[in-house]
Amino acid sequence: MRLFFAVLLDDQTRQHIALVQQAMKRALAGQRISWVKPENLHLTLRFLGELDEEGLKQALEAAQVVARQRAPFRFVARGAGVFPDMRRARVLWVGVEEPVEPLFQLAHHLERELQRRAFPPEDKPFRSHITLARIKEPPPAQVIQSLMDYLPKEPLGAVEVRSFVLMQSILRPDGSLYTPVQEFLLSG
């Protein structure tokens, strides 16, 4: 199973982000971009990749430990950007605004518990964001910059994080299908 841990968005936040995504699609029409379906918008805490039954068991144990020790919190979705930079844009995202510390702590705690169970360390540092699209051929930097300048400055939603989810990802020609495997309620 191809798996990842995620924080799911409430319907209102997802709808606001989907409206921004639609505006971006119009502005970037004709570009080679793979857009995330609105129903798939989420914040990834940790990608796990393909796991066998033992790996799944270990991931579930790690998540249960983390959920018992972390308290619910909230974050605000606002702004947008690209990875790695404007000239080489490959991922278009919506950002997470203050307070971000509880989100970083959740991801860090999850990473630590996974490594205790022999998962290899994440190869990139955690960056809180909600992926909107993957860019196959980056447009000129000025196109991306003008798009960022055009976006609304107000918050796109306040997300109450009371749980996180282990999700299965099935790759299909028409886009990924995400299915929740198990939810972990924050109770710390």
Catalytic residues: 42, 129
Amino acid at 91: V
Answer whether 3's CB lies under 8 Å from 51's CB.
yes
**CA dihedral (149, 96, 156, 181) positive or negative:** positive
Cα distances (Å, whole numbers) of residue 182 to 3, 59, 78, 88, 163: 11, 11, 28, 36, 10
Over its C-alpha atoms, the chain yields an Rg (Å, rounded) of: 17
